Chains A and B, each alone.
Chain A
Amino acid sequence: MKQIKYIGKYTVLEGVRDKILYVSLFIIIALIIFSFYLSLLTLTSPDIAFLSFSFYFLKAFSILALTFLTVFQLYKDKRKRAYEIVLTKLYNKAYYIWGKFIGYNILYLITVSIVSLFIFLIVYILWNEIMLKIFIYPLILSEQFFILSAIIFLLYLIFTSPTLTIISSLAIFFASHFSLDFYLFTVKTAKGLSKYIYILLYYLFPNMELFSLEKNIIHNLTLTPLNFTNLLSYSIAYGILISFISGLIFNNKRDF
């Protein structure tokens, strides 16, 4: 446990030292300022338009940036001399994967929380509204990244090139926003064995549509603590399950 904690802490510090955090923050904040200018084009409620666009930019860019940065950082670490030393000192090789997994998730949570604070301040300064609900969004986003990062780590162990890892993990992330639509469609149309294969596929892929709660946050719709706990348990269960499998693969792989 201590070793996982140490690797996680080192990953966060490395992210800060390598300017990953600052670069992502700078670009996301620039996009949020752009979304403010976009919101001026609407009619009566620029605050809602601003929140809609800034949430979109925050999600899209942070997911893209952190997927790229995580994968490149993992491959960069693999080339370092210290990599093998760290692995030999660990009780279990899988600790490396779990430590990195936790570290990147913490780094992501820090990034989106800082950006959310920035969005909150803009809304407060420009429209004099105290929207504490904005701070729910980084939590929902980090739940999504928990699932995505688990997939990234699994694919990192399957593929040998960073490009393939990035493309496939992003493809899974984008496609999983439509897995519920796919499920509803196939359940209605498919028959026999194919129906059960589709259902199995639905449960294999994560359902990211569950996390599309921007509407609830922006329009102050019901977002009960029960919903939130369900989401949290869903993401934690899926993320831990996948990262556990990744850990097992990593432990038994000889070329790593």
Chain B
Amino acid sequence: MKTRKLSTIIIVFLLAILGFIYIKSEKALTNLYKEKEVEPLFLPISMLDVAFLKNRPAISEFYLISAIMHFVSENRDTEFIAKELYLGYKADPYIKETVFFLGNVLPIKKEDIEIANRYLRLAASYGIDWHIFLYMGYNFLFNLKEYEKAARFFYIASKLPGAKPYVQSMLIMAYYRKNDIRGALLYLTALYKETENPARKKLILKKIEWLQNIIELNEQVKLFYKKEGRYPKNLKEMVDKGYIQEIPKDPFGRGYYFDKKAKIVKSKW
């Protein structure tokens, strides 16, 4: 009986010591990991093919979730995240979130946009999808302000199968920002001839009218400058001096105005 009691005490004592060592070593290891900068582990598609038994949608989702996790972490490596998203798209081009994340969410700084566009170009070679060109166009239009490149990408996106009609509006927006209103008009006229849907035709006609008004107003502004030696203060002055009979009605209802800085007529749309 006594020996059993003694052995129990010894076992409890030993367990307490082991517990103490475990907690101490765990703390020491945690401190070690805190100091060490953990490199993100990169997994190639071939390795995931083995693990996921060639279930490509699951591989793509895995890359996407991993990229989101890295995106929200403190030490964010944009190159790494972009590469993961690109591989996610390569694994399954039908999962569009990868390119959406790459094109729209990831680019924050100017360097990020360049990285994102580089990987979007690579992704385009794996599955020609209008979304990729749309996102590249977005980045050039709104972030990098390179309207010519934006227009080029929107044009490619609009010509690809399955492209939504708003891509065409984005292209016109890029032309407009580039001050190439005649280019936009030419595109719209060609589009009007191609389109068969009556509702779409009506909308395109509205846009053509909207652009034609801007072109006409700008020509009158040039004439005003030639004759008066200065630019008009506003469009009303042009009506008063007889350059135009009245301010044309904007088919979208927003109206036109004279931009004194750019010295051209613009739309409020």
B58 adjacent to A56 (CB under 8 Å) = yes
B99 to chain A, nearest CB (A): 11
Interface centre among A48, A59, A219 (most CB of B within 10 A): A48
What are the interface flags for A140-164 relative to B under an 8 Å C-beta threshold, 1 for contact and 0 otherwise?
0000000000000000000000000
Tell whether A1 is near chain B: CB-to-CB under 8 Å. no
Report the bound CA distance from A177 to B56 in whole Å: 13
A76 to chain B, nearest CB (A): 28
Report the bound CA distance from A188 to B247 in whole Å: 71
A159 to chain B, nearest CB (A): 24
The DSSP consensus for interface residues of chain B is: helix
Report the bound CA distance from A55 to B54 in whole Å: 11
A218 adjacent to B57 (CB under 8 Å) = yes
Question: Please, which residues of chain A bring their CB within 8 A of the CB of B101?
Answer: 43
Using CB atoms, name the residue of chain A closest to B94: A219
What are the interface flags for A32-74 relative to B under an 8 Å C-beta threshold, 1 for contact and 0 otherwise?
0000001101111100110111011001100000000000000
What are the interface flags for B64-94 relative to A under an 8 Å C-beta threshold, 1 for contact and 0 otherwise?
1100110000000000000000000000101
B68 adjacent to A53 (CB under 8 Å) = no
Q: Please report the total number of A residues contacting B with Cβ < 8 Å.
A: 27
A60 adjacent to B53 (CB under 8 Å) = yes
B247 to chain A, nearest CB (A): 43
A170 to chain B, nearest CB (A): 11
A214 adjacent to B55 (CB under 8 Å) = yes
A56 adjacent to B53 (CB under 8 Å) = yes
Using CB atoms, name the residue of chain A closest to B54: A212
A45 adjacent to B56 (CB under 8 Å) = no
B229 to chain A, nearest CB (A): 57
A42 adjacent to B65 (CB under 8 Å) = yes
B50 adjacent to A55 (CB under 8 Å) = no
Contact (A53, B58) CB under 8 Å given A38-B65, A43-B68, A44-B97: yes
B58 adjacent to A52 (CB under 8 Å) = yes
A-B contact count (CB 8 A): 74
A52 adjacent to B53 (CB under 8 Å) = no
Contact (A52, B68) CB under 8 Å given A60-B53, A214-B56: no
Contact (A49, B61) CB under 8 Å given A59-B55, A60-B53: yes
Tell whether B224 is near chain A: CB-to-CB under 8 Å. no
Question: Please, which residues of chain B bring their CB within 8 A of the CB of A39?
Answer: 61
Question: Please, which residues of chain A bring their CB within 8 A of the CB of B54?
Answer: 177, 208-209, 212
Report the bound CA distance from A169 to B56 in whole Å: 23
What are the interface flags for B44-60 relative to A under an 8 Å C-beta threshold, 1 for contact and 0 otherwise?
00000110111111101
Residues 189-237 (chain A) with a chain B CB within 8 angstroms: 208-209, 212, 214-215, 218-219, 221
Question: Please, which residues of chain B bring their CB within 8 A of the CB of A53?
Answer: 58, 61
Using CB atoms, name the residue of chain B closest to A55: B55
Question: Please, which residues of chain B bring their CB within 8 A of the CB of A208?
Answer: 53-54
B265 to chain A, nearest CB (A): 40
Contact pick for A177, options B53, B64, B65, B97, CB 8 Å: B53
Question: Please, which residues of chain B bring their CB within 8 A of the CB of A218?
Answer: 57, 94
Tell whether A174 is near chain B: CB-to-CB under 8 Å. yes
Contact (A215, B53) CB under 8 Å given A49-B61, A52-B61: no
Report the bound CA distance from A215 to B92 in whole Å: 8
What are the interface flags for B27-54 relative to A under an 8 Å C-beta threshold, 1 for contact and 0 otherwise?
0000000000000000000000110111
Question: Please, which residues of chain A bring their CB within 8 A of the CB of B61?
Answer: 38-39, 42, 48-49, 52-53
Using CB atoms, name the residue of chain A closest to B95: A48
Given contacts A41-B68, A42-B64, 18 further A-B contacts (CB under 8 A): A41-B65, A41-B69, A42-B68, A43-B101, A44-B97, A45-B95, A48-B95, A49-B61, A51-B57, A55-B55, A59-B55, A178-B49, A208-B54, A212-B54, A214-B57, A215-B57, A215-B94, A219-B94
A-B contact pairs, 8 of them (CB 8 A): A42-B61, A43-B105, A44-B97, A48-B57, A51-B57, A52-B58, A218-B94, A219-B94
